[in-house]
Amino acid sequence: MLDVAMRGCIDPALNAAGRRLAAWGVRANTVTILGLVAGLASAGAISQRHFALALVLIAVSRLLDGLDGPIARAAGPTDRGGYLDIVCDYAFYAAVPFGFALANPVLNALPAAALLGSFTLTGATFLAYAAIAGKRGSQTAGPKAFHYSFGLMEGTETIAFLAGMVLFPAYFPMLAWVFSSLCLVTALQRSISAVATFR
């Protein structure tokens, strides 16, 4: 919901940095993988209850995720890079709730499982929509590797919730249930749009 507005604020700086990094020979796929490594490390830190470290690693991970696209556009984007980017994003999104489940299985396992399930459904609707829209030749406005269908819960909201969980770990169960509910609303919203669009 907030991605378009957020992109308008951060894209100029990211694009400038991406062009410079590409000129230095930095590869977009390398940055994508480093972002995933930082994201998985944040989940490891969460599992050990090192929440301050986890927050720093999440910030590093998302910064790298924001830079790989501009680097790719400066150097020449590839389908392989687009595929790698979305797979690494979802691996990161799944790792953080899993880290909380490991940190406190008694309190966190059930809400973490619900959140992972809602991520699966939201991801399925997102990727299925993208595949069919791409087959029909639909293009998203902006420099994306494939069609992006907009919804209530997008990248900005996801990062905000994950950061909130790390900042206030005692409230993880409540935040996870709220987040799961909003993801289900997003999946329903996207499904209604698909039924109306793909006639």
At residue 44's C-alpha, the angle toward residues 169 and 3, to 5°, is 65
Q: What are phi and psi of 85, to 5 degrees?
A: -60, -50
CB within 8 A of 147, min separation 6: which ones? 129, 130, 133, 134, 138, 139, 140
Percent of the chain with pLDDT over 70: 86
The token pair that represents 187 in the structure block: 């999946």
CATH topology of domain 3-197: Four Helix Bundle (Hemerythrin (Met), subunit A) (1.20.120)
pLDDT single digits (tens) 152-191: 667 788 899 999 999 999 999 999 999 999 999 999 998 8
**Domain residue limits, the chain:** 3-197
CA-atom Rg of the chain in angstroms: 17
pLDDT single digits (tens) 65-91: 989 889 998 888 888 988 999 999 999
